[in-house]
Structure 1
Amino acid sequence: MSQHHIRITQDSARPVGELFAALADHNKLNKVFLIPVRRIRDGQPDVNGAGSVRRMGPPPLGIEETVTAAQADEFIEYRITRNGGPVRNHKGRLDFAATERGSQVTWTIDFEAPLAPIGRALELGLSQALKMGLKRIA
């Protein structure tokens, strides 16, 4: 298995609370990824918090991601828990910070792929999708 790492940072004029809310709400992530995204299991105590599950993409092909930890206006951690295809041990984290001009989010993803060329292609494609998606909501 080859190891891969993605790190994307996006500045926003929005206050950190607004940016966090836009990226924490599973049912609004279709604006970032331009594919269907829907919360299929509520977290506790926040419906989009730890334990919540989202499906990304149309069933039955969509992947499922589970939020493993979250702290409002600070961070969200998640992992792929179903239908990850060739990707293994996919873990993502979004870190939020207030800035003089609004806020900033840093999205990091670590994952493994069975072959380095597959991993590099996924890394490139996912990086581009995240960059474009974050610009849409910033």
Structure 2
Amino acid sequence: MAQQKVVVVREFSRPVEAIFAELADHNNLKKVFGIPVKRIQDGQGDVNGVGSTRRMGLFHPLAVDETVVAVTPNQSIDYVISKGGYPIRNHHGRLDFSATGKGSRVQWVIEFDSLPGVGPVLKFVLGQALGVGLKRLG
């Protein structure tokens, strides 16, 4: 399997706390991805925190479940695909939030393994989708 890495950076005029709150809430992610996203399992202590799982898509086998594995409020969110996602394997996503002079910055990094030949296509599609999706947040 070939390793792929997607990096998307976006700056916002709103403060880190506002952007973090919007992206941490699974139920807001439909705006980013343009497909149904629903929290199917609450996290420990915070409904969107560690252990929370979101389902993206309509139904299995087309849907993907992603589980939050680490959160540092207003700084970072880490998640993995916990169900579905073929032909992607070992998917790890990380959002890093930082303040700028005019608001905030989000860097979204996704690393995954995929079948040779398929990985570069998936990398391109994910990068484009995230770039467009983050623009929807303003």
What is the TM-score with the length of structure 1 in the denominator?
0.98
1:137 positional shift: 0.4
Structure 2 CA distance, aligned partners of 1:34 and 1:82?
20
Tell me, what secondary structure is at the counterpart of 1:58? coil
Counterpart of 2:82, as a letter, is T
- The residue number in structure 2 matching 1:30 is 30
Counterpart of 1:88, as a letter, is R
- The residue number in structure 2 matching 1:59 is 59
What pairs up with 1:40-59 in 2 under 5 angstroms?
A: 40-59=40-59
Counterpart of 2:108, as a letter, is W
Counterpart of 1:136, as a letter, is R
Counterpart of 1:104, as a letter, is R
Structure 1 CA distance, aligned partners of 2:49 and 2:43?
5
1:10 positional shift: 0.2
- The residue number in structure 2 matching 1:98 is 99
Structure 1 CA distance, aligned partners of 2:15 and 2:53?
26
Structure 1 CA distance, aligned partners of 2:23 and 2:65?
16
The number of residues matched between the two structures is: 137
What pairs up with 1:1-138 in 2 under 5 angstroms?
A: 1-60=1-60, 61-115=62-116, 117-138=117-138
Q: What is the RMSD of the two structures over their aligned residues, measured on CA atoms? A: 0.6
Structure 1 residue ranges (4+ consecutive) displaced by more than 2 angstroms after TM superposition: none
Structure 2 CA distance, aligned partners of 1:120 and 1:9?
19
Structure 2 CA distance, aligned partners of 1:45 and 1:52?
10
Q: Deviations over 1:18-52 (max 9, x none)?
A: 00011000011000001000000000111001000
Q: Deviations over 1:102-128 (max 9, x none)?
A: 00000001000021x200000000000
1:4 positional shift: 0.4
Which sections of structure 1, spanning at least 5 residues, go unmatched? none
Sequence identity, in percent? 51
Structure 2 CA distance, aligned partners of 1:5 and 1:100?
28
Tell me, what secondary structure is at the counterpart of 1:86? coil
1:86 positional shift: 0.5
Which sections of structure 2, spanning at least 5 residues, go unmatched? none
Structure 2 CA distance, aligned partners of 1:15 and 1:94?
15
1:84 positional shift: 1.1
Structure 1 CA distance, aligned partners of 2:135 and 2:72?
23
